């Protein structure tokens, strides 16, 4: 592990981009996307200054600006352009539905939204944008670019020669807000998370400090995860670009057949994804499509043994990581020499941690973390624009974990335990057991109301012929008490979020409806 210097993180996002340009060269490629037209560090800085100055003329100082764009180069230019001139991008999850999007705009005080006509048309988001546009300014990138004059472009070139001086006028401090992200809401209403410039820069540098032995300037990150999700933003984009590597953006993680072909075409060496998506890519890939990939960084959900085996056939090693939006997001990540299946690796440097005991749970505890990557705070839903910081800098992850020889293992979300017959039962442990029985299918355990015991366990699975007697016999063989075996099996597709994680709130609601029909 390389030495981590917190002092180096005390800069803005755009300042960190300028540092990368100066260190790795303006002609080094920083970005590529579906269009296969690479953009260098020099062109990225130029584009950010030109677009950023134009957007600044259409917005107010320190304004939080909604960004509704897919994973293409334009979203990165918009991010750095807004930051260069002191605006704060709030990335909107276009898969979240109009209710959540409207709530996000209200809580963040968004009065301007940057989007693209091409994207809105292709994504069939016309109705959503029309609704969000009521009382708000919609800036179409195509129109903004159309207003750029030769003088604007010339000024942009001049700005690149004194980019630090231009950026300094915006007076963006390391502790100022850099972005607003909205939690995916797997277990309830999404929250607005405010991450500072130093939070994001620190997390990108922390990953490099921990995993520097396997990262080189020649590496290429393939990032199909949406930038409105912190995994896609920091792990897939900023960790690569701010450390001098190329990030290849792809607009949808659901294109299982197209993505392996683009991985082959771009010679990507690092792949990012969730277990659900990674299985799809490995199964759809041709014989040599994934041959360039050395490592797969997996997060957001537990990695199945079958997924590891699938990627191993293509010559890649899966390194499982762990994070939270509130932590920018990476908290820990496995390394090749510290890669225990089922664990999520050692903590990143400069992260303090503690485990608080939980009644009924005898192994591990509830993880709290503090460090340079921990958020400024949540947006206050009662006072738009006001930020509620974490108490004494500590963030309660809500996860039950164990730490053995510095390696973190997640035992489950605190909310995904239930007291059944006086015992605390882990849903994640039951799901792992069931996965061993039916490895080719997806399974989610939920707690449903029970008139006698208060609540009962139910299994939601996409295995059409799932049989409880078979499950019960397998559980006994694995040493699980009958108390831990779900009483009901509900066969259905399992809802997922745009980030690839299971949508637990939607799954529970669906399970309740299915139970009522039985």
State pLDDT tens for residues 291-332.
999 999 998 878 888 889 999 999 999 999 999 999 999 999
Q: What's the distance, Cα to Cα, between the start and end of the chain in Å?
A: 55
Q: What is the pLDDT along the chain (518 residues), one digit of tens a residue?
A: 667 889 999 999 999 999 999 999 999 999 999 989 999 999 999 999 999 999 999 999 999 999 999 999 999 999 999 999 999 999 999 888 888 888 889 899 999 999 999 999 998 999 999 999 999 999 999 999 999 888 988 988 888 899 999 999 999 999 999 999 998 654 456 689 999 999 999 999 999 999 988 999 999 999 999 999 999 999 999 999 999 999 999 998 889 999 999 999 999 999 999 888 898 999 998 889 999 999 999 988 788 888 899 999 999 999 999 999 999 999 999 999 988 888 999 999 999 999 988 766 667 788 999 999 999 999 998 887 789 999 999 998 888 888 998 899 887 766 666 655 555 677 777 877 788 888 888 888 877 766 665 567 788 888 888 888 888 888 788 777 777 788 778 788 887 776 667 777 777 777 777 766 66
* CA-based torsion, 236, 237, 242, 246: positive or negative: positive
Helix (H), strand (E) at residue 194: strand 192-196
- Which superfamily does 6-404 belong to? ANL, N-terminal domain (3.40.50.12780)
CA 191 from centre of chain: 14
SS (HEC) of 305-341: HHHHHHHHHCCCEEEEEEECHHHCCEEEECECCECCC
For CATH 3.40.50.12780, list the domain ranges present in the chain.
6-404
SS (HEC) of 291-313: CCCCEEEECCCCCCHHHHHHHHH
46: three-class secondary structure by DSSP = helix
Angle at the Cα of 310 from the Cα atoms of 309 and 315, rounded to 5 degrees: 85
Phi-psi region of 124 (alpha: psi -120 to 50; beta: other; left: phi over 0): left
273: three-class secondary structure by DSSP = strand
pTM of the model: 0.83
Strands of 371-513, DSSP E? 377-379, 387-388, 395-404, 407-413, 417-420, 423-426, 443-450, 454-461, 488-491
User: CB–CB of 427/446 below 8 Å?
Assistant: yes
Helix (H), strand (E) at residue 354: strand 352-358
User: CB–CB of 338/322 below 8 Å?
Assistant: no
426/301 Cα distance (integer angstroms):
15
237/235 Cα distance (integer angstroms):
6
Q: What pLDDT is recorded for position 209?
A: 94
**440-446: long-range contacts, CB 8 A cutoff, minimum separation 24:** 440/306, 441/466, 442/276, 442/494, 444/494, 444/502, 444/504, 444/507, 445/486, 446/504, 446/507, 446/508, 446/511
- Owner of token pair 């792992």: 432
Q: What pLDDT is recorded for position 31?
A: 96
Supply the DSSP symbol for 348. Answer: P
User: CB–CB of 66/114 below 8 Å?
Assistant: yes
Q: What pLDDT is recorded for position 385?
A: 77
Q: What pLDDT is recorded for position 187?
A: 47
- Which superfamily does 421-517 belong to? ANL, C-terminal domain (3.30.300.30)
Selection from 76, 80, 108, 77 nearest residue 92 by Cα: 108
Q: What pLDDT is recorded for position 363?
A: 78
For CATH 3.30.300.30, list the domain ranges present in the chain.
421-517
Q: Determine how many CB atoms are found less than 10 A away from the CB of residue 362.
A: 8
State pLDDT tens for residues 86-137.
999 999 998 888 888 888 898 999 999 999 999 999 989 999 999 999 999 9
270: three-class secondary structure by DSSP = strand
SS (HEC) of 124-153: CCHHHHHHHCCCCEEEEHHHHHHCCCHHHH
């Amino acid at each position: 592990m390389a030495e981590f210097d917190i002092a180096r993180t005390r800069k803005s996002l755009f300042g960190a981009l300028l540092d990368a340009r100066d260190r790795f060269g303006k002609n080094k490629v920083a970005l590529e996307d579906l269009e296969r037209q690479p953009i260098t560090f020099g062109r990225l800085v130029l584009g950010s200054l030109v677009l950023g100055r134009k957007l600044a003329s259409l917005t107010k100082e320190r304004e939080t600006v909604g960004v509704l764009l897919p994973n293409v180069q334009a979203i990165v230019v918009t991010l750095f352009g807004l930051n260069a001139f002191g605006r704060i991008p709030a990335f909107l999850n276009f898969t979240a539905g109009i209710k959540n999007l409207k709530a996000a705009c209200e809580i963040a005080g968004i009065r301007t939204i940057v989007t693209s006509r091409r994207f809105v048309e292709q994504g069939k988001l016309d109705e959503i944008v029309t609704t969000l546009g009521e009382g708000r300014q919609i800036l179409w990138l195509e129109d903004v670019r159309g207003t750029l004059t030769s003088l604007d472009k010339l000024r942009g070139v001049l700005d690149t020669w004194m980019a630090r001086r231009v950026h300094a006028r915006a007076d963006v401090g390391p502790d100022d807000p850099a972005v607003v992200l909205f939690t995916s809401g797997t277990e309830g209403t999404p929250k607005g998370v405010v991450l500072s410039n130093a939070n994001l820069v620190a997390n990108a540098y922390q990953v490099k400090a921990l995993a520097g032995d396997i990262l080189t300037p020649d590496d290429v990150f393939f990032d199909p995860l949406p930038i409105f999700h912190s995994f896609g933003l920091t792990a897939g984009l900023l960790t690569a670009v701010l450390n001098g590597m190329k990030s290849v953006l792809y607009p949808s993680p659901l294109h299982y057949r197209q993505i392996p072909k683009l991985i082959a075409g771009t010679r990507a060496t690092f792949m990012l994804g969730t277990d659900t998506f990674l299985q799809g890519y490995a199964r759809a890939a041709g014989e040599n499509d994934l041959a360039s990939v050395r490592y797969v960084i997996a997060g957001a959900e537990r990695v199945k043994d079958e997924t590891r085996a699938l990627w191993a056939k293509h010559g890649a090693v899966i390194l499982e990581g762990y994070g939270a939006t509130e932590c920018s997001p990476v908290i820990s990540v496995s390394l090749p020499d510290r890669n225990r299946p089922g664990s999520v690796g050692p903590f990143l440097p400069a992260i303090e941690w503690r485990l608080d005991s939980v009644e009924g749970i005898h192994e591990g505890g509830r993880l709290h973390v503090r460090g340079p990557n921990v958020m400024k705070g949540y947006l206050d839903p009662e006072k738009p624009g006001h930020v509620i910081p974490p108490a004494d800098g500590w963030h309660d992850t809500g996860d039950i974990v164990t730490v053995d020889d510095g390696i973190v293992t997640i035992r489950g979300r605190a909310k995904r335990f239930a007291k059944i017959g006086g015992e605390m039962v882990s849903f994640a442990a039951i799901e792992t057991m069931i996965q061993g029985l039916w490895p080719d299918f997806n399974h989610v355990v939920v707690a449903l109301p029970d008139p006698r015991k208060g609540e009962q366990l139910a299994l939601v699975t996409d295995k059409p012929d799932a049989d409880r007697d078979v499950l019960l016999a397998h559980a006994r063989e694995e040493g699980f008490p009958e108390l831990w075996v779900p009483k009901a099996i509900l066969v259905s597709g399992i809802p997922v979020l745009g980030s690839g994680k299971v949508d637990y709130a939607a799954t529970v609601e669906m399970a309740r409806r299915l139970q009522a029909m039985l």
